[in-house]
Chain A
Amino acid sequence: MTPPPHLRAVGITKRFGLFTAVDDVSLDLPPGSFHALLGENGAGKSTLVKCLMGFHAADSGEIRLNGASAALSSPRAARLHGIGMVFQHFTLIPSMTVAENLVLARPDLPATIDWPSERTRLSQFLSGAPFHVDLDSRIAELSAGQKQKVEILKELYLQTRVLILDEPTSVLTAAEADEILGFLRRLVDRGELSVLLITHKFREVQTFADSVTVLRRGRFAGGGSTRTLDAAGMAEMMMGEARAERRIGKTAGEPGAPRLCLDNLCAVGDNGLEAAHGVSLTVRAGEIVGIAGVSGNGQRELLEVIAGQRAASSGRITVDHQTHLPSREMIRRHRFFVLPEEPLRNASVAGMTVAENIALRLFDQPPFQRSGFLTDPASIREFAVRMIRRFSIRPEDPDAKIESLSGGNVQRAVLARELSGGDVGVLVAANPCFGLDFKAVDFIHDRIVETRNKGAAILLISEDLDELLDLADRVFVMSGGRLVHETTPAAADLAEIGARMAGHH
């Protein structure tokens, strides 16, 4: 097996119009090394690796392979040099089987496919792989972790020697992430692979990487061996300042009366099967109740029912002992707010401006509406300007289309809309910090805790157990569509929670 080439990027600069996304950054990836690329959202990590992969042509700088200058003008050219990439989004075809996806990725696929011999090759290849994947299962049926394994197997099947991974673990549980990165680490140790890992999880950098490069606003902000750097040092490079010690400002005191009740809620998923079975829980005023679990165990369907995006097949939701239905009138009366996952898709109108999106809750109320039916764009805009300042939304432009904002800023804009009234009765949030850098995460956590302290009942559905144990007063575990375990952060037994999440009851 050929060893990985020595990949070096020297003085790469990439501009988009007036904006310099990557500014004079160099990177060294010797054969058989595991290098991490750290940086906040928008620091230029993805742009830099897209230059390496041939998706973008760098404006200046040079890419060298084994010392010789290489023109990687297209992803195809990069692939011919053994450089492959696993993207943030999956590049698997959902309706096809694992075998079809692996075969389709072959660059030298003949016009007609000889399945018996392809299958022999695939099973031979898979027998040497540490992941068990069924060749005949369709991608749509796989969990996010299994899909990510198939993505990585696909790269290895294509004889990739330099593997670039763009935040591959953002959709995985910690255990899945460790399994996959551990496997890649062993291939690196055997000298069969070089890995360039884009991440913003310090734990992964320290556990798996040899060395690290930190980017901040497109520039090189520091780097070196992971043996000499600690998390605080890397955070300082990323942020340009030391990260403040986290304090969760939860006020002590007994929660109030029961506010939000889910009573035997059942929901049917897109595939026609029941996804949530008889979910019952109560959230009291001034309390955060968490729901932990691996994605795909009915949390999404449950949230959609609560948010009014999906009809419950049975059961009911009550707020202060009154039945809650998702009409504007009742949402207003119950002061019921939702912070769903993927806010651009689930909680915004992508083509509308930031100001219009922030006004979606209140546009039919005075002062945004006059004479009973006319909206007042000036006051909507003026309100948005205030919210943009208070919630630090970037860019500070109320007229920007919300789809042009980064993920963290879309989440801030939605948060501004949901929490701007200040008087929150019920807040339901799902993975509110998914894919955000820690500055944004801290900001959102602070707002959620602040809302709790003011007496709101908060239901927090999250795949991030650390987040739940930090924020929640009580935690349920959801598995197979049911709530299978209840605990408090103080009494939480991680082994027990892990086993319940995995479906061992």
Chain B
Amino acid sequence: MQLQPEGLGVWGIAVAVAGGALRGSIPYLFVSLGECLTETSGKINLGMEGVLLMGAMSAFAVSDLTGSPWLGVVAAALVGLLLGAVHAWLTNQPAVNDVAAGIAMILFGSGLAFFFGKRFVAPMAPQLPLIGLGFWSRIPAVESALRISPLFFIGVAASFLLHWIFTRTRWGLQVRAAGDDPQAARALGINVSGVRFLAITVGAALAAVGGAHLTLYFPGIWSEGISGGQGLMAVALVIFARWSPRRCLAAALLFGGAQSLGLSLQSLGVKGYYHIFNASPYVFTLGVMIATCSPSRRLAGMPGALGRK
């Protein structure tokens, strides 16, 4: 981390956490939007962790080979489309369970990423240009904390776009219908399998773009442990956001902020509880799950046919 908010005290933590939220939220945001789209259509893609790693690896590789980080982002999206198509095809088979196929896809995606990523472990690829939001401040620490990846703005736009799609477009209504009551949707003449196929593939492409952020942003290297389970946590985040794209944005910011808490405190000299603060997003996830789940009632907003054919 390039943060040295010394001399800012508590404000230093606030700025660091805010900056961390804006940066750290990006993978959560893209994966949760992708999963939100997938689950709204009634399917579950637990394989997002594998998609995230494949997105990270392929974005890094293409950026390294072509010298263009944006081509890397496009490559990640295409790889996501392909992995999503595999998951969609698999789970469309009558005897295939979404969750089992998803777990297989985590292993498949990460194995594939590690295999093809072997030769890219050492070098540094060209990174995405950053957009500075700290121009109003003359304190260098604040300025550097608020240098944000352009993917963040694309993700924010995507969350509002997805909400618009769900409420204002034919395809969006069809996705919701397929997810809530596929039998009724079929009676309305909706091609449920087709609608779900597209939702899963586009969802996986979004998640893969989140992976591109992992390798095309500081420090800009590819390593096998780069995702750290963020793909799985983002799937849980969708439940917390109760399947609303706009709440996915808020939840991703919250998770991103929680993640940067440990780093910010460390840079302030708080050393003792480093690992505990690093665990905060995970503790946070568990807490959220316990707080929002009730044995006596169904979750509001949950697609009625989630995981059912």
Contacts and interface: CB of A to CB of B under 8 A. Distances in A.
Of the candidates A93, A112, A115, A271, the one having the most CB atoms from chain B within 10 angstroms of its own CB is: A93
Interface in B185-205: 185, 187-189
A113 interface: yes
Contacts of B176: 93, 95-96
Nearest to A92: B184
Residue among B169, B170, B298, B303 with the highest chain A CB neighbour number at 10 A: B170
A93 B185 contact: yes
Given A272-B294, A272-B296, A95 B174 contact: no
21 contacts: A75-B189, A76-B189, A87-B187, A90-B184, A93-B176, A93-B181, A94-B181, A95-B176, A95-B303, A95-B304, A96-B173, A96-B177, A104-B173, A104-B174, A107-B189, A109-B170, A112-B168, A112-B170, A113-B169, A113-B170, A268-B297
Q: Which 6 A-B pairs have the closest CB atoms?
A: A91-B187, A272-B297, A91-B184, A95-B180, A93-B177, A104-B173
Nearest to B186: A91
A104 B188 contact: yes
A96 B167 CA distance: 10
A76 B177 CA distance: 18
A110 B170 contact: yes
Interface of B: 168-171, 173-174, 176-177, 180-181, 183-185, 187-189, 294, 296-298, 301, 303-304
Given A94-B304, A268-B296, A270-B297, A103 B181 contact: no
Contacts of A94: 180-181, 304
Contacts of A270: 297-298
Given A270-B298, A271-B297, A272-B294, A91 B170 contact: no
B187 A100 contact: no
A1 interface: no
Interface of A: 75-76, 87, 89-96, 100, 103-105, 107, 109-113, 115, 268-272, 311
A321 B185 CA distance: 51
A311 B296 CA distance: 9
A92 B177 CA distance: 9
Given A115-B168, A272-B296, 18 more contacts: A75-B187, A91-B187, A92-B181, A93-B176, A93-B177, A93-B180, A93-B181, A94-B180, A95-B176, A95-B180, A103-B173, A104-B173, A104-B188, A109-B170, A110-B170, A112-B170, A113-B170, A113-B173
A311 B295 CA distance: 11
Nearest to B303: A95
Contacts of A89: 183-184
A104 B177 contact: yes
A228 B173 CA distance: 49
B189 A113 contact: no
Contacts of A95: 176, 180, 301, 303-304
A109 B174 CA distance: 11
Contacts of B187: 75, 87, 91
A93 B177 CA distance: 6
B180 A112 contact: no
A109 B170 CA distance: 7
A48 to B, nearest CB: 18
A105 B169 contact: no
B48 to A, nearest CB: 23
Contacts of B294: 272
Contacts of B297: 268-272
Contacts of A91: 183-184, 187-188
A89 B169 CA distance: 26
Nearest to A87: B187
Contact of B168 (A104, A107, A113): A113
A105 B177 CA distance: 11
Contacts of A269: 297
A269 B169 CA distance: 34
A74 to B, nearest CB: 9
Nearest to B172: A113
A93 B179 CA distance: 9
B117 to A, nearest CB: 39
A137 B301 CA distance: 15
B29 to A, nearest CB: 24
A92 B174 CA distance: 12
B169 A111 contact: yes
A18 B296 CA distance: 47
Given A94-B181, A95-B180, A105 B188 contact: yes
Contacts of A268: 296-297
Contacts of B177: 93, 96, 104
B228 to A, nearest CB: 34
Contacts of A75: 187, 189
A110 B174 CA distance: 12
Which of A110, A113, A269, A311 is the most central at the interface, judged by chain B CB atoms within 10 Å of its CB? A113
A97 to B, nearest CB: 10
A90 B304 CA distance: 14
Contacts of B173: 96, 100, 103-104, 113
A397 B153 CA distance: 64
Contacts of A271: 297
Nearest to A271: B297
A91 B304 CA distance: 14
A92 B210 CA distance: 35
A96 B184 CA distance: 12
Contacts of A100: 173
A424 B48 CA distance: 54
Contacts of A96: 173, 176-177, 180
